[in-house]
Amino acid sequence: MPSTTPACTFDVVESSVVLIPDGQSVGDVGQRVVRDHSGRFITSERSGVVTVWGTTGRRERSFGRGGQGPGEFTPGPLNIAPVRGGGLYIFDNAGRWHLFDAQYRHQRTAQFNAFKAPDETVVLDDGEVLDASGRESGAQFFAVMSAMRPTDQTRPQVLRRFGDISSAELQFTSTDRARRIAYSTGDRFWAGPPAATGRGYVLEQWHVNGTLLRTLQRSVPWYPEGADRARRGRASSVPPHEIESLWDLGDDLLMVILLAPNAQEWSRSSGRAPDAATRDRMIDIWVEVLDTRSGNVLAQRGPLKYSEAQRTLPTAIFHGSTSGFRLELNADDERVARIVSLKLKNK
Tens-digit pLDDT profile for residues 286-328: 999 999 999 999 999 999 999 999 999 999 999 999 999 999 9
H or E element that contains 266: helix 263-269
Assign 194 a pLDDT band (cuts: 50, 70, 90): confident
Read off the pTM.
0.91
CA distance 51 to 211: 38
Position with higher pLDDT, 271 vs 261: 261
How far apart, in whole angstroms, are the C-alpha atoms of residue 156 and residue 173? Answer: 25
Specify the DSSP element, H or E, that contains 254: strand 253-261
Residue 234 neighbours by CB under 8 Å, 6+ apart: 271
Q: What confidence score (pLDDT) does residue 234 get?
A: 43
Whether the CA torsion 260, 265, 269, 271 is positive or negative: it is: positive
From residue 163, alpha-carbon distances to 119, 142, 160, 191 in Å are 17, 6, 11, 10
Quick: pLDDT tens for 223-233: 877 766 655 44
Instruction: Specify the pLDDT at position 289.
Output: 97
**Which range, of 131-135, 157-161, 199-203, averages the lowest pLDDT?**
131-135
pLDDT at 259 over 50: yes
What value, to the nearest 5°, has the Cα angle with vertex 55 and ends 49 and 61? 30
The sheet that has 41-44: what strands, in order across it? Answer: 34-35, 41-44, 50-53, 59-63
Report all structural domains of the chain as residue ranges with CATH numbers, in order of start.
8-16+116-346 (2.120.10)
Please say if the pLDDT value at position 199 is more than 80. yes
pLDDT at 235: 41
Q: What are phi and psi of 163, to 5 degrees?
A: 85, 80
Mean pLDDT of the region 166-176 = 79
Give the pLDDT band (50/70/90) at residue 73: very high
For residue 170, give the amino acid letter: L
Residue 14 to residue 266: CA distance in whole angstroms: 34
Mean pLDDT, range 157-176, rounded to an integer: 85
Task: Evaluate if residue 345 carries a pLDDT over 80.
Answer: yes
Q: How sure is the predictor about 275, in pLDDT bands with cuts at 50, 70 and 90?
A: confident
pLDDT reading at 342 higher than 80: yes
